[in-house]
Amino acid sequence: MDEVAVLPAADDVVFLELLDKHGAFVARHRFDRPPVSIGAAYDSDYIVDAEPSKDRRPVAAVITRLADGSLAVTATDGAPDFSAPGGMTRSWRVVPDQSFLLGGQLFRVRTRSYVHVPRAANEAVLPTLGHWAFAWTVPLALTCGALSTWLGDIDGERGSAYISSAFTMLAVLALWSGVWALLSRLNGRASHFLAHVSLAALAVVAVMVLDYAFDSAAFAFNLAAIQRYDYALAGVIVGTLVWCHARLVTRLQAGTALVTALAIGGALFAFQALSAYTARGNIASTATLTELRPPALRMANAVVTDTF
C-alpha cells in the first residue's frame, strides 16, 4: 500500500517585523493567521491592516500561505516599489533571515517555528566583482591615470602632475560615489558606498583604455573618423555606469534606471558633441591627432590625420 506524504501542520501565527534602513529591528506585529494585508502607508500606530476595507488605507502587499506550507509576499498592482532578495519582483517566497522592501520600508516575516540561521557576514552587493572589489578597482584606475599622465608628459619632468592626477581622480570617485550612496539611503537601502566606488573606478578604466585604443587605431589605420567621434565613448560608458548604479546597487525600478541612464548619458553625449562643433566649426573636422604614443615615438609638430 502506497504511503501518502502529509505535510506537517503549519504554524499559523505570523510575525511581521519592521526594520530601519540599516536592517535593525524596530517593531513587531503579530497576526494569528494569514493572509495578512500590508498597507501602502506607515505612520503612527497604523502600519498594517489584517482586514482591509473601503475605509482603510490601500493594500500594497499580501502575505499568504502556499500549498507547501511556506509563506509568500505578493505585491498588488498599485503597490509602491517592491524589492526582495534577487531584485525587483511582484512575488517573493519568504526567507525568515532576509528582508524585503515595500514603499521605502524594510520588512521581515517570521513565524513561531522560526530557527535562526546566521546571515552571511559582509554580503557582497556585486557578487561578480567581489566584496573587496574596491581594493583592486581603485588601484587599477589610479594606475591607468598614471599611465595616461605619463603618455602626456613629453618632457618627463612634471612629477607633480602624477600626484595631482591621482588626487583629482580620488576626489571625483568619492564625490560621484557619495551622491549614489545618498540615493541608495533615500531608497531605503544601505549606502553601499564601496560598491559605488568600485563601479565608478571600472568606468574610469574603461574610458581610458578605450580612448587609447581608438587613438591608436585612428593612427595605425589612418582613419580619422575613428577618433573624430570618440567623444561618444564617454556618453555610452557613463550611461551604462548610471544604469549599473541605479539598478544593481540602488535597486531602482528597471524603467527608472533606464530613463536615468539615457538622460545622463545622452546629456553628456550632446554636450561633448556641441563642444566639438563650436570648437572646430564642424564635428567631423580633421584637427585631431597631435601626438604619437608612446612618448618615445612622438613627433614634434602637430599632425592633421587626413594629410598624414
Question: What pLDDT digit, counting tens, does each position of 2-18 carry?
Answer: 444 443 444 678 888 88
Name which residue leads in pLDDT, 189 or 273.
273
pLDDT of the residue at 197: 92
User: Which of these ranges, 25-39, 165-179, 252-266, has the smallest mean pLDDT?
Assistant: 25-39
- Confirm whether 219 is domain-assigned: yes
Q: Are residues 99 and 57 in the same domain?
A: yes
Q: Are residues 92 and 139 in the same domain?
A: no
Give the residue numbers spanning the domain of 32. Answer: 14-111
**What stretch of H or E contains 241?**
helix 231-243
Residue at grid coordinates 580620488:
170
- Confirm whether 176 is domain-assigned: yes
pLDDT of the residue at 290: 41
Q: Are residues 104 and 151 in the same domain?
A: no
Q: Are residues 274 and 148 in the same domain?
A: yes
Q: What tens digit of pLDDT does each residue of 265-301 get?
A: 889 888 877 776 665 544 444 444 444 444 444 444 5
CATH assignment at residue 106:
2.60.200.20
CA distance linking residue 299 with residue 296, whole number of Å: 9
Q: What tens digit of pLDDT does each residue of 190-221 get?
A: 678 888 999 999 999 998 888 888 888 877 88
- Confirm whether 228 is domain-assigned: yes
Q: Are residues 86 and 207 in the same domain?
A: no
- Confirm whether 211 is domain-assigned: yes
pLDDT of the residue at 58: 67
- Confirm whether 127 is domain-assigned: no
pLDDT of the residue at 292: 41
Question: What mean pLDDT is reported for the chain?
Answer: 73
Q: How confident is the model at residue 49 (pLDDT cuts 50, 70, 90)?
A: very low
307 contacts: CB under 8 Å, gap ≥ 6: 286
Q: Which long-range contacts (CB under 8 A, 24 or more apart) does 269-273 make?
A: 269/231, 269/232, 269/234, 269/235, 269/236, 270/235, 272/231, 272/232, 272/234, 272/235, 273/231
User: Which of these ranges, 21-25, 110-114, 121-125, 160-164, has the smallest mean pLDDT?
Assistant: 121-125
CA distance linking residue 194 with residue 124, whole number of Å: 10
Give helix 193-220 / helix 134-152 axis angle, nearest 10°: 30
pLDDT of the residue at 117: 45
| Angle in degrees, CA 146, 132, 95, rounded to 5 | 150
The model's pTM: 0.54
Looking at the 3D structure of the chain, how many domains does it have? 2
Most confident of 59-63, 141-145, 159-163: 141-145
Q: Are residues 162 and 85 in the same domain?
A: no
> What's the rounded mean pLDDT across residues 139-152?
87
